[in-house]
Chain A
Amino acid sequence: MKKSIETIWKEGFIEDKALIAPKINDLYNQKSQNIVDKLKRMFDLNLKGIAIGAILVFGVLTFNGLPFLGAFISAMLMFLVVKGYQQFKQLQKIDNNVNSYEYLKSFDGWMKKVIKEYTTIYRFIYPMLFVACITRFGFSEVGLSIIEGMAKDFPSIPVVMGMPVVIPVAIALVAFLLSYFAGVIYRLDMKSLYGRQFNKLEEIIADMETLQTQQSTN
């Protein structure tokens, strides 16, 4: 008679060597390497994505009769790509011969520095992109008719460079706000892309620090 699954389970594991725990080897070394490799791959992929985006934007806008706007946006995006690869080069300088904890701390420090530098860059890029797009819109038929309509409907508003002063003031205000909140916008962007990996990295560093504390108190 065949054994029931309960009996197989009950009798099957007696003195089974397969139930001896496998060795935990280099757990944090592996994890550190995995997370760093993954983040590097993601950064690289992101930069390639921006480069492709820059080419596409230029192509699409040129095709739609906006070559200057296309070239401007594309140039800004390419600047981000070049800057990114420059940062990547700095990453290679991190000493690989230190222990996992020190390597991760160096990597974390590099990443924070990159984020800080990009935040500064975006303080200019976001408002410049906005001003470029809105200026081009202002020269379009729709834009011109809106400006003319405003000038007609509100003749009491002073006019600067052929447009009611509220328009450049509003543009300047939005550009200022974009610059002011560039850090927040960029951090949100980074969080949506790399949030989980950043959390993992912090988790691993925290684990290692806890272990170091435990080891030093023992």
Chain B
Amino acid sequence: MGSDFYTSSILPFAAIIIKICRAYTNTQEDFEDYYQEVCLQIWRSKDRFNQQSEWSTWIYRISLNVCLTYLKKKKNNPQELASDSLPPQAIEDSHCFADESVNQLYHAIRQLSETDRAVILLYLEEKSYQDIATIIGTNANNIGVRIKRIKQRLNKILNSEDI
């Protein structure tokens, strides 16, 4: 990957990639693997970006696709799942963010289904229902209901763990 492309087109959006990758990984090692793979896929797919949407939306889409694909791969290959199966106390980066509320929120988000994680991340990043639907490949009509349901689930998890 060209360092120019990385500096100009990926680095300014690194926060997006980090936020998404963190939601799909439990350890620093996995996180770095996912982050690198996302960057690589963004670089590889840059020629397919048709400028009909924003570059950031494209980055969200690639990031989620890579994370979901990686997760699926790991599920199919239990050997690679080793780091994901660590007991909660052994998880290295459960306190990776400075704000403890964010760490707790991530802990709750990681308990959602893979697609629900994508929906709530996009919602929290203030993407429109239409954008969310386009990125995850579903109908925009039920996104609102789905978000409401996911938020209820998150609040339930957060409250049950006395957070």
Give B126 Cβ to nearest chain A Cβ, in Å: 9
Given A8-B105, A20-B14, A22-B35: A207 touches B99 (CB 8 Å cut-off): no
- Report the bound CA distance from A203 to B45 in whole Å: 12
- Report the bound CA distance from A6 to B148 in whole Å: 12
**How does the 8 Å CB contact mask read for B139-152 relative to A, with 1 for contact and 0 for none?**
00000000000010
Give B131 Cβ to nearest chain A Cβ, in Å: 17
B-side contacts of A134, CB under 8 Å: none
Give A8 Cβ to nearest chain B Cβ, in Å: 4
Q: Which interface residue of A11, A18, A24 has the most chain B CB atoms within 10 A?
A: A18
Q: Do A211 and B105 have beta carbons less than 8 Å apart?
A: no
Interface of B is mostly: helix
Q: Do A214 and B2 have beta carbons less than 8 Å apart?
A: yes
Q: Do A19 and B15 have beta carbons less than 8 Å apart?
A: yes
Q: Do B35 and A6 have beta carbons less than 8 Å apart?
A: no
Q: Do B102 and A12 have beta carbons less than 8 Å apart?
A: yes
**How does the 8 Å CB contact mask read for B1-21 relative to A, with 1 for contact and 0 for none?**
110101000110011011100
Nearest first, the 5 closest Cβ-Cβ pairs linking A and B are: A12-B102, A21-B14, A12-B99, A9-B124, A8-B101
Task: Give me 29 A-to-B residue pairs in the complex whose CB atoms sit less than 8 angstroms apart, sorted by A's number.
Answer: A3-B101, A5-B105, A5-B124, A5-B151, A5-B154, A5-B158, A6-B124, A8-B99, A9-B102, A9-B124, A12-B102, A13-B15, A13-B99, A13-B102, A15-B98, A16-B97, A18-B18, A18-B98, A19-B14, A19-B19, A21-B10, A21-B14, A24-B6, A24-B35, A24-B36, A27-B36, A27-B40, A207-B40, A211-B2
